[in-house]
Chains A and B, each alone.
Chain A
């Protein structure tokens, strides 16, 4: 990033941070992959074209096992852009590069990101060859901002912010709302809502009428089929109790 430049016209290298989904595989991989297939089966295209980082911190595996896992994810169309928490000896040219310094929480502190248009080359998790990473609908800049959406969120639209999202209308089937913080929907939630996506387990999802396709908080999720039938069509909220995804009415 800060290499000494000898050419008169330097190649521009800039640091940039991106938001990626992080998968945390568990041993035995066979069982974990079954659960992953289950998720992908119920939520078609969930991983498609999204940048995914594999977090293997604390896993007792060797290089061959890791390579096998990346390959098997590849056959499921889950493209791993980087690997976190692996020993250097486990990685080689045939595996995605090591990633480090990823931020699990919503606090964005590095001054570079808060600075104006083009910060100098100094950013965490330098992701080179950005062209390889298809545009995810998840821009990340500046301090966590909360937004208020006054229009209905239409099918096919995707809204993201690092802070809270308040939506005055409804979220349509086929639309998604992704927040680092909590999500408040004053209309009907028919699409997907994902709260606490930057690692905020205290985030919640509220909606005045529940018809959701999927809800998720900090990586824990429930699809429409798993939602309590009694809550359907009613005001509802979701939160995490430890690792338990909890739903309740707001009546």
Chain B
């Protein structure tokens, strides 16, 4: 049985889709079988970021409505043969996502893949709650600024109350992925500090992704950043995040805070 991960944030534009694609690709680069599911019905983007927009035939809504089989809708990545995409519908309304339909699709994907990554839409409405509904693990994507942190806090509250696991009295595993971290702005003090974000959200830190042109460039060429340039700073940060996700204990480096001649990393314990 695979693990279901929801990538969520509450706020829009913080990097959910970028992170879903990058983490999915990184997991697949390790040889795991991965499917990334776009839950943003009506505003789909994941196909673009993964460079599959010209191969979309059927989508999640078609599968839920019984108009297509799951195997027909899944798109295999051209570069990584263990990476798949289940695109969202751009034309349908998000009301077409039914709770039963989502449960069936996610349940079926779990039996075929090691990881099912659900890319949640922004907000706390139906699309977002359905994306998190059957998750085993949540990755909360947050930017180091107050509105994003407060929205993430709201989402964590929903993860603890509205998911199938929470309703069964279990606890959903939650990780914080701090994205768009800008060392220059952090130095000037016009960004929330990592410790402050951790203190407010009090969930373990999965990784810090630096703000980088590499991310933008990768999106524009339709490639997850972990595939586009494996040695770029954000790609390395995503690879490290994946190692932590798989249970490895790896200290988190704060970008721009390397110390000493040998770049002695600053060990950091997550909350």
Contacts and interface: CB of A to CB of B under 8 A. Distances in A.
Interface in B150-165: 150-151, 153-154, 156-158, 160
A188 B158 CA distance: 20
A174 B160 CA distance: 17
B195 interface: no
Nearest to A157: B157
B8 to A, nearest CB: 14
A151 interface: yes
A174 B149 CA distance: 11
Contacts of A169: 202
Interface string A138-173: 000000000000011011110000000000011011
A190 interface: yes
B216 interface: no
Given A172-B150, A173-B150, A174-B150, A155 B157 contact: yes
A225 B244 CA distance: 42
Contacts, number: 33
Contact of A155 (B154, B160, B199, B202): B154
Q: How would you classify the secondary structure of chain A's contact residues: helix, strand, loop or mixed?
A: loop
A207 to B, nearest CB: 14
B154 A154 contact: yes
B187 to A, nearest CB: 22
B184 interface: no
B57 interface: no
A154 to B, nearest CB: 3
Contacts of B157: 154-157, 175
B199 A154 contact: no
B154 A170 contact: no
B160 A151 contact: yes
A50 to B, nearest CB: 20
A155 B151 CA distance: 8
A152 to B, nearest CB: 5
A174 B202 contact: no
A88 B154 CA distance: 46
B1 interface: no
B153 A174 contact: yes
Interface of B: 146, 150-151, 153-154, 156-158, 160, 199-200, 202
Interface of A: 151-152, 154-157, 169-170, 172-175, 188, 190
17 contacts: A152-B202, A154-B157, A154-B160, A155-B150, A155-B151, A155-B154, A155-B157, A156-B157, A156-B158, A169-B202, A170-B200, A172-B150, A172-B153, A173-B146, A173-B150, A174-B150, A174-B154
